[in-house]
Amino acid sequence: SQQGEEDPQALSIQEGENATMNCSYKTSINNLQWYRQNSGRGLVHLILIRSNEREKHSGRLRVTLDTSKKSSSLLITASRAADTASYFCATVLVGGSNYKLTFGKGTLLTVNP
């Protein structure tokens, strides 16, 4: 089974609402990253949170990490139609290399205007 699994698989909201996506993982990590993928495009790095951090902000993004529960959440506030994309969490395992990311299957976010 997947090291990282996003939940929900799909999320549909109205513009202006907040979107929350969750990621659970199984093995201890060095860091956890969130990426965005617009349809037909490459993945774009959004934010990285290290295992000794609990919360991180970047613009309208807020990421939390709970290592005791082996879970992370990505909150997008005041969503826009342009936020419509697939969102993936990716982990770097303890002792692993930064380039060897383990990705989940992603959450498809649709923001309706």
Strands 10-14 and 107-112, by their bridges, are parallel
Q: What whole-number distance in Å separates Cα of residue 20 and Cα of residue 41?
A: 22
Query: Can you tell me which residue has the tokens 């929350």?
Result: 20
Rg of the chain (C-alpha set) = 13
- By CB under 8 A, tell whether 100 contacts another protein: yes
Shortest distance in whole angstroms from residue 84 CB to another protein:
17
The least distance separating another protein from the CB of residue 13, rounded to whole angstroms, comes to 23
Binding test (CB under 8 A) with another protein, winner from 1, 42, 69, 95: 42
The values of phi and psi at residue 83, to 5°, are -80, -10
Q: Is 31 in the site for another protein (CB under 8 A)?
A: yes
The binding site for another protein (CB under 8 A) comprises 2, 4, 31, 33, 35, 40-45, 48, 88, 90, 92, 97-106
